[in-house]
Amino acid sequence: MKLFVSLCFSLLLISTFTVNAETFEPEKFANDYFNAWSATQSPSATKQDVEHYLSFLTDDVGHQHYPYDSDDTRAEDGKNAMRKGMTYYLGAHTKYSSELISYSFDYNVVVIKYSSMSSGVHPQTKQEMSINDTTLEVLELEDGKVSLVRKYSD
């Protein structure tokens, strides 16, 4: 009897996962995520833009950005840490443009590749900055939200 109950429960979990996987729209997710991220980089970006982007993330999100930050540890306050950092840099760009080049999806990962150009004044150093690069983001998903962001850029 225990074996039968375990088997039924396992089948229920598998069918639930299959339904969730079947309803997930990778192209829509990739575009929505990318557009939300890009909005936070705009010269006219607002705290609402940051909050919209953060709505894609788990509370304990991990963030890694090679070569600047190699730690991918998920922290209980990961989303709040990102909010603090993004708010600090909010409006630092005087120009920003980006283009989604490609996306792919498999298992629990969405990979997006995009090009971006930005210029502005660094809020800490007050130095002019200009960046033109291509970025690959590997987004690990958990329950439909991004639990880990790994960024690789030129």
Average pLDDT over residues 97-116: 96
CA–CA gap between residue 146 and residue 99 (Å, rounded): 21
Other residues' Cβ atoms within 10 Å of the Cβ of residue 147: 18
Which pLDDT score is estimated for 123? 86
Which pLDDT score is estimated for 56? 98
Report the candidate in 75, 60, 145 with the shortest Cα–Cα distance to residue 110: 145
pLDDT single digits (tens) 24-49: 899 999 999 999 999 999 999 999 99
Q: What residue segments make up the domains of the chain, in order of their start? A: 25-153
pLDDT single digits (tens) 59-100: 999 998 887 777 888 989 999 999 999 999 998 999 999 999
Report the percentage of the chain scoring pLDDT > 90.
Answer: 69
- Band (pLDDT 50/70/90 cuts) for residue 21 is low
Which CATH code for domain 25-153?
3.10.450.50
The C-alpha angle 43, 35, 23, rounded to 5 degrees, equals 160
Higher pLDDT, residue 26 or 22: 26
